């Protein structure tokens, strides 16, 4: 079945540093979504990408939908302590309307 490979698995960075994480797949996806999960909460949608090559920003976050439709990255600039959490990529399967596949998550820790 379809799988998403998300990397890195975890990151420990200094406040102020930039962060980059990515997801790759062997399958084509129609939509790429990036979520953040805070401890004890459900995942919250950060950015949604709908077409190949699309580059979208949300504050200090920037994400891109890869040209091949098999990958996406998320960048966080000038990290702050509240960026701590787990970041998930998710892809929408073309052949199965509604089904969203999630990556394994990237755990981000920010040292003040």
Partner 1 sequence: DAGVIQSPRHEVTEMGQEVTLRCKPISGHDYLFWYRQTMMRGLELLIYFNNNVPIDDSGMPEDRFSAKMPNASFSTLKIQPSEPRDSAVYFCASGLAGAGNTIYFGEGSWLTVV
Residues at the site binding partner 1, with contacts judged by CB under 8 A: 30-31, 33, 35, 40-45, 48, 50, 88, 92, 96-105
- In the bound state with partner 1, the residue whose beta carbon lies nearer, of 42 and 59, is 42
Instruction: Using DSSP, state whether 78 is helix, strand or coil.
Output: coil
Contacts of 6 (CB under 8 A, 6+ apart): 21, 22, 23, 88, 89, 103, 104, 105, 106
Q: How far apart are CA 101 and CA 104, in angstroms?
A: 10
- In the bound state with partner 1, the residue whose beta carbon lies nearer, of 74 and 79, is 74
- In the bound state with partner 1, the residue whose beta carbon lies nearer, of 40 and 112, is 40
- Tell me the closest approach of the beta carbon of residue 16 to partner 1, in angstroms: 29
- Tell me the closest approach of the beta carbon of residue 4 to partner 1, in angstroms: 10
- Tell me the closest approach of the beta carbon of residue 67 to partner 1, in angstroms: 20
Contact (Cβ atoms closer than 8 angstroms) between residue 4 and residue 90: yes
């Amino acid at each position: 079945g379809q799988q998403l490979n998300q990397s890195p698995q975890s990151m420990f960075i200094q406040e102020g540093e930039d962060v980059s994480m990515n997801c790759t797949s062997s399958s084509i996806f129609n939509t790429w979504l990036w979520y953040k999960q805070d401890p004890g909460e459900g995942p919250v949608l950060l950015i949604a990408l709908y077409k190949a090559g699309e580059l979208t920003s949300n504050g200090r976050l920037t994400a891109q939908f890869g040209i091949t439709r098999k990958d996406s990255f998320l960048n966080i600039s000038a990290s702050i302590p509240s960026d701590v959490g787990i970041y998930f990529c998710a892809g929408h399967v073309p052949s199965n309307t509604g089904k969203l596949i999630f990556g394994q998550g990237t755990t981000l820790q920010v040292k003040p």
